[in-house]
Amino acid sequence: MSVRASSSDADVTTSSLSEVAALDKLIDLLRGANGHQQLTQLVAENLLAFDQKFWIRLASRSDTAQSTAEKENLTNLANTVMKIVDAIVKKTNNELADSGRMLQEILAAGANERGEWELPLPADRVAAMRAALDARAEHLNEALLSNAFAWMRKASEDSLDGMVALLQKVLQLYAGKVLSAAGTPQDGDAAESALRRLIAAEEEQAWLLQVGEEAMLAALRKKMELLVLSLPSGSYAQRVQAEYLKELETRIQAAFQAANAS
């Protein structure tokens, strides 16, 4: 007579063995944290992993703990991690709300005296938006960039092409500001100095051609490696700055192509 094991006979009820192993690995990583600061960092880095399956697995391990000390350790870990997650979520929500207001103020700076936007934006309105960004430098973070991309998606879905263009301008100004401020060119590095001037410029200038295409592109790629690749992988900051540098590459190549053709 054969006996078929029911699902209740196994420790795994809703997750595969690989999922349980991954959850156990995370739990053990959290248990091994050296102090509250490191634990907070680990929670932040794995925030999306704290779903229902995680809490079920943590409770299961607490229920089957081999000693009272281990059970208390797991229970305390659950309480601490839950508080950290709640604090991070609350902080993120507050940052998103604040960044939404900041984004509105930056966009408003580009409007004319009637509260309307003229596209393409006149130079004085672009300057006003750049000044608005400068005045809010400490708030130019992932929350603001996240809001900008979310608004762009919604504007695109609603066929509001003008608003999409305005938000793209905000992202371009952000990238230009951050990239032009990052790093210090070495003395005598004409290409790096020219690149910094180009990053902050709206249009190409004659001095660009005096440096040479190969030197300009080499400086650009070095900037890409040293700055963008050092940013958190997948972050909005990395995405925006990488896209801006790719646009600069196209501008540089077009400028030299036009000069060679003339």
Please state at what angle helix 161-181 crosses helix 68-109, rounded to 10 degrees: 110
Each residue of 207-239: pLDDT tens digit? 677 788 898 899 899 888 887 778 888 889 999
For residue 104, pLDDT over 80 is answered with: yes
- What is the pLDDT averaged over residues 56-61? 94
To which residue do tokens 């992202």 refer? 171
- What is the pLDDT averaged over residues 114-124? 92
Range from 21-35, 51-65, 133-147, 223-237 carrying the lowest mean pLDDT: 223-237
pLDDT > 90: what percent of the chain?
54
Give the pLDDT score at 9: 44
Each residue of 3-12: pLDDT tens digit? 344 444 444 4
DSSP string, 56-103: HHHHHHHHT-SSHHHHHHHHHHHHHHHHHHHHHHHHHHHHHHHHHHHH
- What is the pLDDT averaged over residues 89-107? 89
2 DSSP 8-state letter: -
Q: pLDDT band for position 172 (50/70/90)?
A: very high
